[in-house]
Amino acid sequence: MGLLSDLTVVEMTAHRAGPFCGALLADMGADVVKVERPGAGDPARTQGPGPEKKSGYFQALNRNKRSVTLDLKADAGREAFMELIADADVFVENFGYGVTERLGIGYDDVTEVNEDVVYASVKGYGKTGPLKEKPGLDLILQAEGGIMSVTGPEDGDPVKVGQAVGDLTAGMFATIGVLARLHERDRGDGGGRFDVGLFDAIVSVMNEYPTLYSLTGDVPGPQGTSHQTVVPYQLFETADGSVVTGVPSDDRWEDFVEMLGRDELLDYPTNADRVENRETVVDIVQAEFEQESTDYWLAELTEHGFPNGPLNDVADVAEHEQARARDLLVDVEDPDSGEITLPGHPIHFPDHDVSVRSPAPRLGEHTDEVFADVAGEQTTLDQWRDGGAFGD
C-alpha cells in the first residue's frame, strides 16, 4: 500500500513534463491511468531506441502506470472519458492552450461531473500572460528563461543544460501543486485547478540570479564549472582526471590551506577576498590538484571533511553504489525490452515502498480492464467500442 494508493489519477499528457508528474504520483502508489490517442499514443513512445512504441525515453517516464486509448473526437470517446473522470481524484493535462476546451474536457466540463477533482495543467508559458497561447518546448525555454545564458564554458558560448530541466522541474512543481490541492480538498474546500509553465519552472530555478542582478546590475555569462558566489567551488583537473570540491565557509579556509600546503592562500581569508581574487586563488588550487590522482584527492578531501566527488559519466552513475543502495536506479523485467534500468523515486519513506512496481505499459494495454470497471455493464462497454471510443 503506497502513500497515495487511495487516489486515482487520469493523465492525458505527452512527452516529458506531464508524464513526469504522473510518474512521481504513481511511484507513491496512485493508480495513474494514462489516456492516449489511438494508434499513435504519446509521441515519446517512438522517440529514441527501444522496442516498437516503447522507447527508453517513454519507459523512464511511464513506469507504474496503466494505458488506455480514447478518441475524444468521437462522442462515445468523450462519454467514456467523462465516466472515467467522474470518479477520479486528479486530472493532469498538458495540451496546448485552449485545446481541452475545444475537446470538451476543460475545467468547467470536467467539474460538471466531478466537482471535487484536482485539475492540473502543464503548459509552455502557463495559462496567463501575453505568451499564454505560444507553444513552448524545453530547449526554447532554457534560452528564454535565462538558464542557457549562464551555462557553458567560462567565457564561451551558452549551451543547454544536459537534461530537460524545464520539463522535469515543471513536472515536479505540478506534483507539488496536486498534493497542495488535495490537502485543501481534505480540509473540505473541494478540489480546484492550477497551472504551471515550463517558463515558470526555468525562471524559478534561476533562483538568486535575478536577485543578484537587481542588487548589482551585473549580467553574468556562462559559469563553466565554477560557482557564481563561492570561491573555490568548482571542478579541478587532477593528474588523471577531475574532482569537484569547495570550501563551504570561511572558518574552514585555514584547514583547506593546510591540506594543500600552500600558505600564500592565507592572504585570502574570506570568501569576499577569494571572489575578488578568483583567478589567483583558483590557479594556486589547480596547480596543487594536478600533482596527484583523483583517488588521492577524494581520499584527502574526505578525510579533512570537505565535500567532494568525481566527474562521473552515465556508465559510472548506472553502477554507482549510492544510486543502487537508494533505489534511484531499479532493474525491471519488461516484456518487450527484457531487463531494463528505470529511474526510481527520489523521496524515501521508511514505512512505504516507492519503488517501481510495473514497467511502462504497451499502448492501450489496460483499455478493456479500465473501461469494463467504468462502464459497469457490458452493453455500455460494447456501445462505446462500437462508437469508436477506443479507436479501431
Residue 210 domain flag: no
Cα–Cα dist 354/1, whole Å: 10
104 three-state secondary structure: coil
Q: What is the CATH number of the domain that holds 382?
A: 3.40.50.10540
Q: Is 155 exposed, middle or buried (0-12, 13-18, 19+ CB in 10 A)?
A: exposed
For residues 150 and 296, membership in a common domain is answered with no
Q: CA-CA distances (angstroms) from residue 282 to 224, 246, 285, 301?
A: 13, 11, 5, 16
For residues 284 and 349, membership in a common domain is answered with no
What pLDDT score was predicted for residue 33?
A: 98
Residue 163 domain flag: yes
**pTM for the whole thing?**
0.94
For residues 287 and 349, membership in a common domain is answered with no
Q: Which residue has the cell 467504468?
A: 374
What pLDDT score was predicted for residue 193?
A: 97
For residues 58 and 160, membership in a common domain is answered with yes
For residues 48 and 193, membership in a common domain is answered with yes
Query: Which stretches of the chain score pLDDT less than 70?
Result: none
For residues 298 and 154, membership in a common domain is answered with no
DSSP output for 144-177:
HTSGGGG-SSTTS-----SS-HHHHHHHHHHHHH
Q: What is the CATH number of the domain that holds 307?
A: 3.30.1540.10
For residues 35 and 183, membership in a common domain is answered with yes
Which of 288, 311, 334 finishes a domain?
Answer: 311
What pLDDT score was predicted for residue 376?
A: 82
Residue 206, C-alpha cell as written in the block: 534561476
What pLDDT score was predicted for residue 198?
A: 98
What pLDDT score was predicted for residue 380?
A: 93
For residues 301 and 330, membership in a common domain is answered with no
Give the bridge partners for 12, in sequence order. 93
For residues 200 and 284, membership in a common domain is answered with no
What pLDDT score was predicted for residue 161?
A: 96
CA dihedral (235, 239, 240, 241) in degrees, to 10, reads 0
Prior bond of 269 cis (ω within 30°): no
Residue 392 domain flag: no
Q: What is the pLDDT of residues 137-182, one digit of tens each?
A: 999 999 999 999 999 999 899 999 999 999 999 999 999 999 999 9
What pLDDT score was predicted for residue 89?
A: 98
Chain centroid to CA 241: how far? 30
Q: What is the pLDDT of residues 229-286, one digit of tens each?
A: 999 999 999 999 999 999 999 999 999 999 999 999 999 999 999 999 999 999 999 9
Amino acid at 102: R
> What angle (nearest 5°) sits at the alpha carbon of residue 273, between those of residues 272 and 274?
90
Cα–Cα dist 268/279, whole Å: 12
For residues 303 and 334, membership in a common domain is answered with no
Which of 269, 286, 311 finishes a domain?
Answer: 311
Amino acid at 188: G
Q: Provide the number of structural domains found in the chain.
A: 2
Residue 213 domain flag: no
Q: Is 138 exposed, middle or buried (0-12, 13-18, 19+ CB in 10 A)?
A: buried
Residue 273, C-alpha cell as written in the block: 577576498
Domain that holds residue 32: 8-205+326-386
Active site residue ranges: 167
Amino acid at 54: K
Residue 217 domain flag: no
Residues 6+ apart with CB under 8 A from 14: 42, 43, 44, 94
Q: Which residue has the cell 462515445?
A: 76
Number of Cβ atoms within 10 Å of the Cβ of 182: 16
For residues 256 and 150, membership in a common domain is answered with no
Number of Cβ atoms within 10 Å of the Cβ of 20: 25
Range 334-343, long-range pairs (CB < 8 A, 24+ positions): 334/54, 334/59, 334/359, 334/360, 335/359, 336/51, 336/52, 336/54, 336/362, 337/50, 337/51, 337/54, 337/56, 337/59, 340/56, 340/59, 342/59, 342/60, 342/63, 343/60, 343/63
Residue 43 domain flag: yes
Residues 6+ apart with CB under 8 A from 331: 339, 340, 341, 342
Residue 34 domain flag: yes
Number of H helices, E strands in the chain: 17, 11
Which of 311, 342, 366 finishes a domain?
Answer: 311
What pLDDT score was predicted for residue 111?
A: 97
Q: What is the DSSP letter of 249?
A: S
For residues 286 and 333, membership in a common domain is answered with no
Residue 356 domain flag: yes
What pLDDT score was predicted for residue 339?
A: 96
- Half-sphere exposure (Cβ direction) of 50: Cα atoms closer than 13 Å: 22
